[in-house]
Amino acid sequence: MKRVFKNPTSEIIIQKIIYKKGDNKKLSSILLKEQKNFCAYTEEYIGCNDAVDIEHFNPNLKYLETDSYQNWFMVKHKPNNLKRTAWIEPILYPSDENFETRLIYSDGYFLHDPKDIEAKNLIDLLNLNDEIFVKNRKRFIQRRKERISEKEVSAFVYFTEKIENEIESLKYLRAIQEEFEIDIWNMIPQLE
């Protein structure tokens, strides 16, 4: 999982858009654009046929005045349903400035400093180290390494081509970032 950047000049803040019962198309559209169409939890590309949710990271805030832009993320529906139902605190927020130094990626797993209870709770809440998730991350990375080797190109060239030609096949952005030492997030163009 990678850090989700929250824009201090987001249209959501400027237009004072709030989450409400019913139609939240404008809110979801802006969030999705800011996340470059990637799920905040799985880091999988969100395509036009994917069911998505506006996730209230802390579900206890939903419909309260304290619920805000900082608590909203676009996520695929199924992973959102797999999130543990019991809220855990203290917890590391996906938009935390030090997110990627606190939630450490290593060979398919997400680790944390043993003293960092917030990072541990995030891993537990989202079940980030579930055996299936770890296997899928490892296999994805291994296949990319094989393709890069077969094509005899750099990781940068390979992923630039992927972004241009089949962005929907990209996932596990944090794993790509760490395994190939490229800034994949900034390689992906901002959506219009």
In the block, residue with structure tokens 């654009």: 33
Which residues form the domain of 174?
11-187
Query: Does residue 166 fall inside a structural domain?
Result: yes
Whether 128 is in a domain gets the answer: yes
**Model confidence over 67-101: pLDDT tens digits?**
999 999 999 998 888 788 889 999 999 999 999 99
Q: What is the pLDDT of residue 30?
A: 98
Q: Is the pLDDT of residue 191 over 90?
A: no
- Note whether residue 164 is domain-resident: yes
59: enclosing H helix or E strand: none
Q: Tell me the percentage of the chain whose pLDDT exceeds 70.
A: 100
The predicted-structure confidence for 137-187, as pLDDT tens digits, reads as follows 999 999 999 999 999 999 999 999 999 999 999 999 999 999 999 999 999
- At residue 192, does pLDDT exceed 80? no
pLDDT band at 3 (very low <50, low <70, confident <90, very high): very high
pLDDT at residue 80, as a whole number: 84
**What is the structure's pLDDT at 84?**
80
pLDDT of residue 34: 97
104 located within any domain: yes
Q: How many residues are there in the chain? A: 192
| 57 within a domain of the structure (yes/no) | yes
Global pTM value = 0.94
Give the pLDDT of residue 90.
Answer: 97
Joined together, the tokens standing for residue 177 give 């970032």
Domain count, the chain: 1
The predicted-structure confidence for 116-149, as pLDDT tens digits, reads as follows 999 999 999 999 999 999 999 999 999 999 999 9
Q: Quote the longest CA-to-CA distance of the chain.
A: 54
Contacts of 141 (CB under 8 A, 6+ apart): 108, 172, 175, 176, 179
What is the rounded CA–CA span in Å between residue 78 and residue 192?
Answer: 27
For residue 6, being part of any structural domain is answered with no
Is residue 2 one of the residues assigned to a domain? no
pLDDT at 6: 97
Pairing of the two strands 72-76 and 52-56: antiparallel
Alpha carbons 153 and 3: distance in angstroms, whole number = 28
156, two tokens: 């940068």
Within-domain flag for 5 = no
Residues 6+ apart with CB under 8 A from 44: 38, 76, 171, 172
Residue whose entry in the numeric block shows the structure tokens 């190109």: 153
Helix (H) or strand (E) holding 99: helix 99-102
60 pLDDT above the threshold of 90? yes
Residue 25 has pLDDT above 90, yes or no: yes
Which of 164, 157, 154, 158 minimizes the C-alpha distance to 189? 164
Buried-state track 37-62, b at ≥16 Cβ within 10 A, e below 16: bbbbbbbbbbeeeeebbbbbbbeebe
Average pLDDT over residues 102-115: 98
